[in-house]
Every structure is written in structure tokens, then in C-alpha cells.
Chains A and B, each alone.
Chain A
Amino acid sequence: MYDVSAPDKSKLSQLLSGIPYFRGQGPAVVAALAACAIPRTFEVDAIIFWEDQPATGLFLVEEGTVKISRISKEGREHIMHLISAGDTFNDVAALDGGMNPATATACTAVKVWEIPREDLRRLAEQYPQLAWALVESIARRARHLVGLVQGLALRNVRGRLAHLLLSEAQNLDSDRVPRMLTQEEMAARVGTVREVVGRALRNLANDGIIEFDRHRIVILDPDRLAAAAEV
């Protein structure tokens, strides 16, 4: 899907230079990546790709937030990652050529660049430093997934929710992906259902750890919330 309002390609070299594993790659690599990248834009809630469909390439986010999730047959969603500007997604499928491991959905209006798998492979063979950077990226993804597995296996819902509340408040403090979350979204992030999240929030409020201030969940006691989140 090509779009006439797709982002300006002249910005791409600057964007690529800012992405952690393209940083320090040198202008030749950045120029080669920019030459083969395809601009795409998506409206809010649009599906960028579905899980278990053939992967087409590596995606870079220029603008907006992308949700990476798995959806069960019953329609229950588990959100694994929220990708913001300057980050990449679908690294795994772009490198191993398998199916997309998850569904990518635009949380906001999104501008992305897609680097087709064959181009990525050709450039990785041509530039060893790029290949190593891709390996490091996969290692970071694996580390993130280990954290997710640890949370699901060793924390109860209250602990996972406490961990989510702390990380979201820290994001809001640092202006990194500041978002408002519904209880449904919280449930999808911590691997449970909305009713359980509602009960867990009320329990935390009854314990004096958080309070509801209309549309804000205010963390009153970060130390006790961190203790609840500890494994």
C-alpha cells in the first residue's frame, strides 16, 4: 500500500541515524538502507500486518505508536510491546524469513518505513557491522521477552499490574510514549481480563498504594507499589 501522503524520504537518513542499531553505521550504510526503504502510512487502529502471515520486511517507525500483540481464537489480546518513533519492529520475521510472530496495529496515525527482507539480507552481507547490529537488536528483543515470561510465570496479576503502573508513570514522567490506558488495555498488557484488572486496582486503592482522581490513577506510595511488582 503506497500512499501519496507518505513521509518525505529526505528525512529517512536522519531517522535511520537516530535508531539505536543504525547509529554509528556510517553514511554508506544509512544511504543504502534509505535507498531501499518503502514509505507507508496507516490510520489509527489500522492493521499493519497480521500474525502468521508471511513477513515482508523490517519496519521503522518515523511517527506514532505501534502495538505488537497476539490475539487468541476467542479474540482475547495480549499486548507484547508498544513501539514508538525511532524504534523498529518485525525484526525476527525479517531475519528468519518465517511468518509474522505477532499482529502490528497502529495505536495512533503512524508513518513507517519498510525495508524488504531481501534488501536487508543483501546489505547485511555487504556491511558486516550492520549484520552485527541486527544481532544485537535480536538480543535486545530476546531480553525483553525474557522479562515478559518472568512476569507471566512468577508474578500474580497484582504484581504484573503494579509493574505496568510504575513503568507507565515513568514513561509519562520522561515524556516517552505518554498514553492513557483503559482497563481493557491494561488487561491486554498484563495477560488477564478487564474485570480482574478492575478488582486489582480497587485492592491497590484500598491498601492506600494508589488513588483514583477522576481520569488519573495517582501512585501515592511508589515504594510499596515497587514491592508489589518485585518477583
Chain B
Amino acid sequence: MSLPLPIIDPKRCTGCHRCVDICPTRALDQIGGKAVLRYPDLCTYCTACEDVCPTDAIHLPFAIVFARPA
């Protein structure tokens, strides 16, 4: 099963470039004036892009689980 990735809503994205600038691994890029996750393998799920987005266009879904004892 592939890992979940940030969800970017192109209708909300204004192309302000903040998420692209702040992404620590350069996984995000801007294409056609909209943010896109160009290199999904580089995404570390750090939530910096979600925190910096001024229009709530980026969301990262989390699964909430109990730690399993070894």
C-alpha cells in the first residue's frame, strides 16, 4: 500500500510559493501557478507546508494508532 501524501487543493492554492520555499526536502514545486508534490518520495510529512499555507489548501491526513508493545 502506498504511503499517504499531502493533499493539495488546486482550487484554494493561490500560487504564493510559501510551501515550496519552506519545504525542507524540496519535494514541492510549482507548476502552472499551483503547488504540486513533484517528488512524493522526498516528503517527510513534516507539516511545514500545511502550517505555512495562508489559504488552507494543503492538508496531511493522519492515522491515529496505539503503540504496539514489542
Number of chain A residues whose Cβ lies closer than 8 Å to a Cβ of chain B: 23
- Across the interface, A180 reaches (CB within 8 A) one of B51, B56, B61, namely B61
CB pair B65–A169 under 8 Å, yes or no, is yes
Q: Are A173 and B66 in contact (CB under 8 A)?
A: yes
Q: How far is the CA of A173 from the CA of B68 in the complex (A)?
A: 11
* A165, B45: Cβ atoms closer than 8 Å: no
Q: B65 to A215, Cβ gap below 8 A?
A: no
- Assuming the contacts A180-B4, A215-B3, A215-B45, asked whether A220 and B63 have C-beta atoms less than 8 A apart, the reply is no
In A20-73, the 8 Å CB interface with B consists of none
By beta carbon, the residue of chain A nearest B45 is: A214
Encoded as 1 (CB less than 8 Å from any B CB) or 0, chain A from 178 to 192 comes to 101111100000000
In the complex, what's the smallest C-beta–C-beta distance from A45 to chain B, in angstroms?
A: 11
Residues of the B chain whose Cβ atoms lie less than 8 Å from the Cβ of A194: 50, 56
A124 at the interface (CB under 8 A from B): no
Given the interface contacts A183-B50, A198-B47, A198-B51, does A218 sit within 8 Å of B67 by beta carbon?
A: yes
A216 touches B62 (CB 8 A): yes
Q: How far is the CA of A128 from the CA of B12 in the complex (A)?
A: 51
Q: A181–B61 Cα gap in the complex (Å)? A: 5
Nearest Cβ on chain B to A176's Cβ, whole angstroms:
13
Asked if B60 lies at the interface with its beta carbon under 8 angstroms from chain A, I say yes
Report whether A217 and B60 are in contact in the complex, using a CB–CB cutoff of 8 Å. no
B residues near A215, Cβ cutoff 8 Å? 3-4, 45, 60-63
Query: In the bound complex, do residue B64 and residue A169 qualify as a contact, i.e. CB atoms below 8 Å apart?
Result: yes
**A119 CB within 8 Å of chain B:** no
Q: Are A182 and B65 in contact (CB under 8 A)?
A: no
Task: State in angstroms the CA–CA spacing of A181 and B7 once bound together.
Answer: 12
Q: Give me 8 A-to-B residue pairs in the complex whose CB atoms sit less than 8 angstroms apart, sorted by A's number.
A: A168-B64, A182-B60, A183-B60, A198-B51, A214-B3, A216-B64, A218-B67, A219-B65
Contacts A169-B64, A215-B45, A217-B64 aside, 18 further interface pairs with beta carbons under 8 A come to: A168-B64, A169-B65, A172-B65, A180-B62, A181-B61, A181-B62, A182-B59, A182-B61, A183-B47, A183-B62, A184-B56, A194-B50, A214-B3, A215-B61, A216-B65, A217-B62, A219-B64, A219-B67
B residues apposed to A, CB below 8 Å:
3-4, 7, 44-45, 47, 50-51, 56, 59-67
Closest 5 CB pairs between A and B?
A180-B61, A182-B59, A168-B64, A214-B45, A215-B4
